[in-house]
């Protein structure tokens, strides 16, 4: 894809992580038009199935927003995929590790 190499990043501070959690929760609520406030998403609750109750159509939608906002292309063939949508916090960790913008 891109031949640019993402610059090395400093490990995120807890404040950065908290800010990104809020930002991604807001993106999810906006993209899916959910009937909850972003702050009500428990960062450790599963996003898929029970928990927040998202399904595969939603996950595709989130993947689009994440790729546009952070330049992270999600792939289903990696073992990581189930884990990424295990919770908001895991999704945010994945974005932090792979973001290109």
Partner 1 sequence: MSRVAPALGAGAHVLNACADRYHFAVGFAACLMTGKVSLLPSTHTPEVIRQLTSFAPDVICLTDEADCAIEMPRVQFPRDAAPAGRAMASVPAIEGAQLAACVFTSGSTGMPVPHRKTWGRLVACVREEANRLALSGSAACAIVATVPPQHMYGFESSVLMALSGAHALCAERPFYPADIAASLEAVPRPRILITTPVHLRALTASVLALPQTDLIVCSTAPLAQQLAAEVEERFGTQLLEIYGSTETGQIAVRRPTRAPEWQLWPGVHLSVRNGETWAEGGHIEEPTRLCDVLQMTGEGRFLLHGRVTDLVNIAGKRSSLAYLNHQLNSIPGVLDGAFFHVEDSRTRHTGVARVAACVVAPDLDAARVLEALRDRIDPVFLPRPLLFVARLPRNSTGKLPQEALRALAAAQPRPATMA
The window from 5-13, 69-77, 90-98 that contacts partner 1 (CB under 8 A) reads: 69-77
6 near partner 1, rule: CB under 8 A: no
Residue with tokens 């992270």: 72
Q: Which of 39, 45, 82, 97 binds partner 1 (CB under 8 A)?
A: 39
Task: Point out which residues bind partner 1 (CB under 8 A).
Answer: 1, 26, 29-30, 32-40, 49-50, 53, 55-57, 60-61, 63-64, 67-68, 73-77
């Amino acid at each position: 894809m891109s031949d640019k190499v993402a610059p090395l990043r400093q490990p995120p501070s807890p404040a950065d992580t908290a800010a990104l959690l809020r930002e991604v929760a807001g993106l999810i609520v906006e993209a899916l038009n959910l009937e909850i406030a972003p702050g009500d998403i428990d960062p450790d609750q599963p996003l898929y199935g029970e928990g927040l109750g998202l399904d595969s159509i939603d996950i595709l939608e989130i993947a689009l927003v994440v790729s546009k906002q952070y330049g992270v292309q999600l792939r289903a063939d990696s073992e990581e995929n189930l884990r990424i949508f295990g919770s908001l916090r895991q999704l945010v960790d994945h974005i932090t590790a792979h973001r290109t913008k």
